[in-house]
C-alpha cells in the first residue's frame, strides 16, 4: 500500500493547533486595500477558527 501524502496547498493555508482547532486567515488582503478602513484592515489580519463542518473536510483532505 502506498504512503499517505499530505496535501501541501491545504497545509500552507491552514494551521492545526495542539488541541485540534484549525485556524485560517481571512480573505481580502491581497489587493484593493486602499479603500478599506484601518479598522477593517486590522480585522482582516486576525486568524479565525474554522467551522466544524469545514473541519471534517479539511482533515479528510490533509491526510490522503
pLDDT confidence of residue 60: 86
**pTM metric for this prediction:** 0.75
- The pLDDT-based confidence of 1 (bands split at 50, 70, 90) is confident
* Dihedral angle of Cα 19, 55, 27, 62, to the nearest 10 degrees: 90
Record: fold of 8-62 = Factor Xa Inhibitor (4.10.410)
Q: Is 56 exposed, middle or buried (0-12, 13-18, 19+ CB in 10 A)?
A: exposed
What does DSSP assign to residue 51? P
Query: Which residue did the predictor score with more confidence, 31 or 23?
Result: 23
Q: Residue 11: phi, psi to the nearest 5?
A: -60, -35
Helix segments in the chain, DSSP class H? 8-13, 38-45, 52-62
- Domain parsing of the chain, residue ranges: 8-62
Amino acid at each position: 500500500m502506498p504512503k499517505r501524502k499530505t496535501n501541501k496547498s491545504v497545509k500552507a493555508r491552514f494551521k492545526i493547533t495542539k488541541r485540534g482547532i484549525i485556524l485560517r486567515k481571512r480573505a481580502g488582503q491581497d489587493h484593493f486595500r486602499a479603500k478599506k478602513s484601518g479598522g477593517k484592515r486590522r480585522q482582516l489580519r486576525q486568524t479565525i477558527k474554522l467551522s466544524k463542518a469545514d473541519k471534517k473536510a479539511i482533515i479528510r483532505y490533509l491526510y490522503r
